[in-house]
Structure 1
Amino acid sequence: EYWQRLFDGMDEIRSRLTSASREKIYRLMQDQTGIDFNRDNCYAVVMWVVKNANTYFDEQLVTMYETMVEMANVENYVSNKRVFKWERFRYMYQNEKQEATHYRLKVGHRMVLNRCGGLEHRWGTNRGIDERACTFLSDMATVAHNLGFRIIRHDLPREGSVMDSSPFVVRHTPAKGKPESLMRVRVFRNSNLHVQFAPELIHALNVQHGRLKGWLRDDAEAATELEIPAETAARHFTPGFRLTSSALRITAPAA
């Protein structure tokens, strides 16, 4: 199918999208099957994908962040009660002179994620780490990649490649220095993941999530609200990776 091949060839875009975002964009591209597959139409579709991909980069960060919050069972796990901090802050409606209350979530460095996948057992046979856990970790690595972390992708597990609850590490390579741990992971039979994230990744996620939700207006406010150093807030307040036609070396068809 030609449109599928076109999307498969957009490596710079596909590598920046989570599994759910890739599926959404491909479904939208499938809606173009009623038009001719030619150079002009391919250019128009690619430019549409570039424009919309940037929106998906932001949406998928918010989705992954809030998925972690949703899947962390803060009532059952004492460790999460320590690391998940709910705080209120007030703001004024622009059109209504009344106060409203929002909640902001501060994610800690260690989390127990419930129902995010784990070790799969069928008919008494251990099949190892399941597809859901692999997808979650791959999607988290994609979000981190868009935030500037250089992921060592061959560290990511494949379905069935991890057979027990021994810890494994997904690393990233800092701009200067040797590879470091980005996520230290353990998987369990009860469909739980235990993940210790690198502090710098958590800072980046907190700042970007607050910025995208409109809760943090600038890096100074991020430093104050998140209780992090000013230089850390400034480093992570800039929007993540953005696609442009020039970055992809896309040129318009000749008239």
Structure 2
Amino acid sequence: MRDRVRGRVPVVVQTRGVRSTPARVLWVCAEAVVTCGVVLMLLVAHQLWWTNQQARAQAGEQVRALEREWAGSPPVTPEAPVVEIQPSAGVESHAPSPSEVPTSSGRPPEAASSSASSAYAIIRIPRIGLTAPIARGVSKRSVLDRGYVGHYPGTAGPGRTGNFALAGHRNTHGEPFRYINRLRAGDTIRIQTREREYTYVVDQVLARTAPRDTGVIQPVPRSLVKPSYGYSDPGAYLTLTTCTPEFSSAYRLVVWARRA
């Protein structure tokens, strides 16, 4: 019996360095949290930095392309005046909402042969150091996200009587309208086309209104939410719209200017 006991091989269980189940779960959770944090930081960096760099480069190249094109070709004279198309009987007609931004009565003659999302004009605002291309439409994918300023369909062309209404991002994707809240009465805004340059003078600023306040881009602009802001008489107006407050699309910021 003693010989059998002596012949047994003792079994030693190594417990040192082996984590218990609760500790292992905590470790896995911590790794997951760190990984999610890194991914989130990369997404934020992409939105706040990379989209701006990409859109600004694209918009800047478009501005230079327009300037080269205009310098090398004579002005285009429209063959016929632009006529506003009236809606058919029984069809309700309304202007697009500023909520399409985010942040043409008649097509501008200089843009008639270009595609819907191609730039046809340049906006310059000295007060905030802005130079950006203007394209027809307010589509995010084909216009606004490229760093362009969008021209609301159904509103007047540059320099025309009516309301030349524009939209632009306030944050990300080039954010051309980020600082339009800094504009004050008397500041100038220049719109350059192939034909000529138009100057507008800032007149009113509506710091906040509802996304569905379509009155701000009507031919004679007046806020439907805050009727004390806007105009009563026809004229040649320029409207800039974007989202507010920053990094939010809860409301719209509106800047109005008159043609000088």
Q: With structure 1 as the length reference, what TM-score do the two structures score?
A: 0.31
Q: Which has the larger radius of gyration?
A: 2
Query: Could you say which structure has the higher helix fraction?
Result: 1
Q: With structure 2 as the length reference, what TM-score do the two structures score?
A: 0.30
